[in-house]
Structure 1
Amino acid sequence: MKLSTKDKIFEQLTTKTVLKQSVFDTTFDAFNELKDVLKEFPDLFNAKLAEKDERLLLQYEDVGNFVAKLKVAGDVLVFFMHTNAFMFDRDHKVWEQPYAREEASRGYTGVINIYNFLYDSFRYSRADDLGYMVARIFINGEKAFFVEGKRQRTMGVGGFGKAKIDPENWRKIVETAILYSLEFDLLVPPYENMNILTMAQLDDEILQSRMRTGKRLGFVFNSDDVKQ
C-alpha cells in the first residue's frame, strides 16, 4: 500500500529522527567522558613539570557543554562536539567495513573535533589567528568509533565496529594529539606574504597585536594521515 505524505512524515519522525537523537545522546555522553579524561592530564604531568618550569604546566578548561580546552605549554588543544548527526556519502570507506554494511543506520555518527591553536592566540585575543585540525572522532549510537587525524592510524576507519569509545581509547587519542601538536612547529611566514604593510595595518599590529599567526601557512590536512 502506498504511504500518504503524512504517513511518510510519521515514519521519518519515528525512525530516522529518533536514530539521530540517539546518536547525539551517545556522542554527548562520550564528550563528557572525554572531559573527565582531559581533567586527568594536569595531575599526570604537572608535579614533574613544576620542577622544570612552571610555564609548562598543563591547564584544563571546561568552556561549556560542547567545548573544552587543554593548554599544553605554548599550545592549546580545543575539543568541540558538533551538535548534529551525520551520514557518510556512498563513496566513503566506512561502507567497506562489514560492520556498517550489515546495518546502514550504523553510518549515522556524531563528530568531535580536535584543533590545535597557539596559546598566545587566546592570551592576546588575536581573533585572526589560525587553528589546525589535529583529529576528528566519529561515534555512532552504539559507541562504535573511528578517528581521522594526524598519527591516529591505529584507530582509523578500518577498525570501525571493532571497539567502543571508552576512557582508555580517549587517553590514546588525546596523547597522540598532544604529541603531534608539540612536534608541529611554528614556521616563519614566507617573505612575499609579509613584505608590504599599510599604515592602518601597522597601527593595528602595534595597538592590538593581531598579525595572523598559525603553525603553518597554507597547511593541508594530508590525505595520507586521514585515509587509513
Structure 2
Amino acid sequence: MNKESANIVELLKGKSLMKQAVFANTKEWFRVLKTELSDCISMLKSEIEDQPKIRLKYVDAGPYEAQLYIGSDVLIFYMHTNVFRFPKSNYVHQSSYIKNEPTNAYCGIINIYNFLADSYELNRFNDAGYLIARLFINKENHFIIEGKGHLEFAYRDFLNQVINKEVMLDVILKVAAYAIEFDLLTPPYQAVSSVSVQQMQTLSNDSKLKTGKRLGFKFQSDSKIIS
C-alpha cells in the first residue's frame, strides 16, 4: 500500500465511521421525536375532546418523515439522510468544544416545515411550505436549533445543551404554536387575477393555483437566511 492509498484508508476509517455514528444517533433521536409527536397529539386531544372538528392527527410517514396535523396546518418533520459540518463562519467554531474536537461540528439535521393541511390532504402539489426550524444533533447528543418565533434564540448553546425528551416536546409545542399563529394572508389581486381553463377544471381535485401562507408577499423576517 502506497502513501496515498494508506491516507485514503485512514480517512475512510476515521471520517466514515464518525459520520455513521452521527447518522445513527440522529436516527435514534428521530425515533424519540416520533414518539413525542404521537404523545403530544394524544395530550392535545384529551384537552379539547369537546371540539372534535379541530384537526389533530399524527402520521408516521416512513423512517425519515413524520407529519403533525394541527388545526389548519401540517408540520412535516424530515430527517436528512446525510451528515453535515458547520461552516467555519458559524459561531459554534468559536467554542472550545469544537476547537478541541473538530468532529463535534458534524451533525445530523431534522428539518421542520409548515404547510397548509389542505395542501397535503387535497394533494395540491404546487402549494408552498416554509422551513420554520431545523435541529442539529452531533454524535455526543449536543444540539442547537435554528428557527422562527420562540425558537430563534431558545437553543443556541451548542457547548452545554444536550438533547432529551423534554427538549423534543418543547420544540414540538413551540413550532406548533408558531404554525397556528402564522396566518394565511390574501395574496395581491394581480397574483391571482389570471387563471386558465385547465386550472379551473382541475381545481376540485388537484389545484394548480399555488397557495401558501405568504404567497405574493415579502416580509423582512422571512428574508433572513438561517445559516
TM-score, scaled to structure 2: 0.91
Q: Deviations over 1:90-141 (max 9, x none)?
A: 1112212232222111000000000111110111110111111110000001
CA deviation string 1:166-203 (max 9, x = no partner): 10010111111000000000011111211222333333
2:8 is the counterpart of 1:6: no
Length-normalised TM-score, structure 1: 0.91
Pairs within 5 Å for 1:69-218? 69-150=67-148, 151-152=150-151, 153-156=153-156, 159-206=157-204, 208-217=206-215, 218=217
What is the alpha-carbon root mean square deviation over aligned residues? 1.8
Identity %: 34
Give the total of aligned pairs: 221
Q: Taking structure 1 as reference, are residues 57 and 128 closer, same or farther at Cα in structure 2, changes over 3 Å only?
A: closer
- TM superposition shift of 1:57: 4.4
Show the counterpart of 2:22.
Answer: 23
CA spacing shift, 1:207–1:62, aligned 2, 3 Å: closer
- Kept in 2, the 8 Å contact 1:133–1:221? The answer is no
* Alignment gaps of 5+ in structure 2: none
2-side partners of 1:199 and 1:107: how far apart?
Answer: 52
Structure 1 residues 145 and 73: alpha-carbon distance in aligned structure 2, compared to 1, 3 A threshold: same
Q: CA deviation at 1:209?
A: 2.9
Question: Deviations 1:17-49 (Å, cap 9, x if unpaired)?
Answer: 111001001100110111111111122111231
Gaps of 5+ in 1: none
Find the aligned partners of 2:224 and 2:95 in 1 and give their Cα distance.
Answer: 19
Deviation at 1:207, TM superposition (A): 5.5
> Which structure's residues are more often helix, by fraction?
1
- Partner AA of 2:18 in structure 1: L
